[in-house]
Structures are given as C-alpha cells and as structure tokens.
Amino acid sequence: MGRTSKPGAYGQRLGDIFGLKAPPPFIIRTLSRTTIAVTQIVCDVENNGLTAPIPREDAFLATMQLRPCPRHDLWIDGKPQKTGYLAAGSLSIYDLRQNPIANSISPFRNLHFYLPHKVLNAIADSDGAPRVDELMSQPGLGVDDPIFKGLATSLLPAFENPQEVSPLFIDHVTVAIAAHLARVYGTKAGKPARITLSDREERQIKELLASRLDGGLTVAELADACGLPVSQFAEAFRRATGLTPHRWIECLQLARARDLLQQKNVSLAEVAAATGFASADHLGRALARADGAVVVPWREYSK
C-alpha cells in the first residue's frame, strides 16, 4: 500500500492511501478560505487490502458509495468496528482525528468529500448556531440520506466532462453538502436562520450574474455582495427566483447565445466563447436540452 505524510486527504494523496490512482479532484476554496475537495476513487478488484494510515487532522471524510460494497473491515483508533453491506448511495462519515483504517475486500467505487472542521464551524457561525464538535455516524454501516445522495450524485457528470462545469455549480453543491451534514449530523448544530432576499438584493445578484457569463463567480462572492452568509445565500436565491444561481446563469447564457445566433456571420464556436460555454459542442447540447424551455430574458439583465 502507498503511504502519505501530508495533510489533506483528497486527490492523489487519498488515492495513495488506497494504493490507487485517483483522477484530479474538484477543489473549492470558500468559507473563510477553507478547502472543500471532492475525489472519486475506483477499485475494480477484490481484496485490495488495508488502507495506509491517514495523518491525523481536524477534518472529516463524507463518503458516498457509487456501487454496492458487500464486504469490508474498519478500525477506528485501532478498535474494530461493526461493518455491514453498504448500499449504493449510502453515506459514511469518517473522523480524520481518529485514524480510520479500512480493509477493502469487495471492489468499490465512491465519492469522498473532504471537509475540514473549520468549514463546519464557519457554516455554524454564519447561521448563528453553536459550533459543531463532531459529525455523528457509524461509518462501517452507513446511512441512507436521500438529500446527501441527491447532492453528491449531481456532481458525477462533472467528473466525466470537467471542462463543461462552472466553479459556481461545484461550489454550490459542496457548500450545500457541508451545511446539510453540519445540521443533521453535527452534535451541536443549531436551527437555521430565516432566509430571504430583498428586492434590491435580488436585482443586484441578477445583474452581477449577467455581468459574468463565464460562470467564474463563486457562491461566496455572490453571498458577500448581498451581505448574507454563504450557507444561507443559495436557498435565499432559490426562494426568490425558483432557480439555483447555477441554473439562473445557465439560462442567461442560453438566452444570450440565442440572441447572438440570430446575427449573421457568427459561428457556433464564437457564440460559445462569448457566452461561457466550453465549446461549440457544449453549447449545442445545452441548446438541445433546453429546446422549448423558458429562459430568463437576457436584455432585462444586460442594461
């Protein structure tokens, strides 16, 4: 098995722990410059063996199984844990302060969300809730959490076509996952505050999104623009508009693309470059998926 001495159990460092090669992770720096990372690990062989020790750090790994994992062993701080069949979509939370070591018996495929403790505390602070001491779970048995599963699953296409995914989308999903885990599994999670946007804030955010069709904005930047905590902003925007910020900017991009395509002597590739799409093919697929759908009027937010 590989060995690692560096902190940060994500990307190839996490692959080394499993003795496997990992694809590049998605890494989002947000919430007071903390890091949330998402890594996909695939092992298609049986009896891959013991994971290497993970350097102790004040962080958690929230893992979703992408395929059933019938057999595995687990030790926490050297003590054997009760394990069972892990269904596809199940959630396991590992406290990296407690030296988790697994024995991979069955083949497995999973997503690992690297969540430093300070991310959870930043979310609690922004909500005005008590800070989270730990995330309670039985990782060897897993838990069925439909909200976590839905959010995590939405990232899978991004691993296949990373060039077509905006940082705003990944930021939105990973922060939502961190907030959900803090509230549901945190030992001292508090009640979320009332979440609203004023008419002025709503207009301000829409104009900001319209000015940045490249999709490079993060949820933290949008939240800061209207003075809301990151963990509250996305829900406030959805309640005000019926859409997530990612979906809103996608609608703007499509509306602007359709506008440009009505002009003469403009190629699909040129329109894609002007509206934040990765390529002409990416734009073509997006237009095909949205055929007949209602999109946000571009001109209303381009003044």
| 3-class SS string, 179-231 | HHHHHHHECCCCCCCCCCCCHHHHHHHHHHHHCCCCCCCCHHHHHHHHCCCHH
| Domain identity same for 62 and 115 | yes
Task: State the average pLDDT over residues 45-60.
Answer: 91
**Do residues 32 and 122 make contact, with C-beta atoms less than 8 angstroms apart?**
yes
The answer to whether position 38 is within a domain reads yes
Strand-strand pairing, 34-43 and 91-95: unpaired
69, two tokens: 């994992």
Same domain flag for 82 and 136? yes
E strands, the chain, where? 26-30, 34-43, 49-50, 59-65, 72-76, 79-80, 91-95, 100-104, 108-116
pLDDT (0 to 100) of residue 274? 85
CATH number, domain of 217, equals 1.10.10.60
Q: State whether the Cα torsion 30-36-133-186 is positive or negative.
A: positive
* Least confident interval from 151-165, 206-220, 228-242: 228-242
Are 141 and 110 contained in the same domain? Answer: yes
What is the number of structural domains in the chain? Answer: 2
Looking at the structure, tell me whether residues 206 and 172 fall in a common domain: no
Q: Do residues 270 and 256 lie in contact, with contact meaning Cβ atoms separated by under 8 Å?
A: no
Q: Does a structural domain hold residue 72?
A: yes
Residue-wise burial string across 241-251, b where 16 or more C-beta atoms lie within 10 A, e elsewhere = beebbbbbbbb
The span from the CA of 52 to the CA of 38, in Å, is: 19
Domain assignment of residue 177, yes or no: yes
What CATH number does residue 181 fall under? 2.60.120.10
Task: Identify the pLDDT of residue 185.
Answer: 86
pLDDT-derived band at 3, boundaries 50, 70, 90:
very low
Q: How confident is the model at residue 33 (pLDDT cuts 50, 70, 90)?
A: low
Both 134 and 226 in one domain: the answer is: no
End position of a domain, from candidates 155, 185, 215 = 185
pTM of the predicted model, to two decimals?
0.65
- What is the Cα–Cα distance from 241 to 244, expressed in whole angstroms? 8
The answer to whether position 216 is within a domain reads yes
pLDDT the model gives residue 127: 67
Q: Do 70 and 146 belong together in one domain? A: yes
Residue 288: pLDDT band with limits 50, 70, 90:
confident
For the purposes of burial, counting CB atoms within 10 Å of the CB of 37, is it exposed (0-12), middle (13-18) or buried (19 or more)? buried
- Residue 193 inside a domain? The answer is no
pLDDT at 259 over 90: no
115 and 254 share one domain:
no
Same domain, 17 and 163: yes
Same domain, 179 and 242: no
- Which of 130, 153, 185 finishes a domain? 185
Mean pLDDT computed over 140-163: 89
CA pair distance 184, 2, nearest whole angstrom: 34
Clarify whether residues 89 and 177 are in a common domain.
yes
Comparing 90-94, 202-206, 215-219, the range with the smallest average pLDDT is 215-219
Residue 286 lies in a domain: yes
Are 243 and 97 members of one domain?
Answer: no
Domain with 247 in it: 199-301
pLDDT digits (tens, 9 = 90+) for 158-189: 888 888 878 888 888 888 898 889 888 887 64
The residue among 185, 208, 229 that closes a domain is 185
Q: Is residue 264 part of a domain?
A: yes
Q: What is the pLDDT of residue 29?
A: 62
Continuous segment of H or E residues that includes residue 259 = helix 245-261
Q: Are residues 160 and 267 in the same domain?
A: no
- Whether the per-residue pLDDT at 282 is higher than 70: the answer is yes
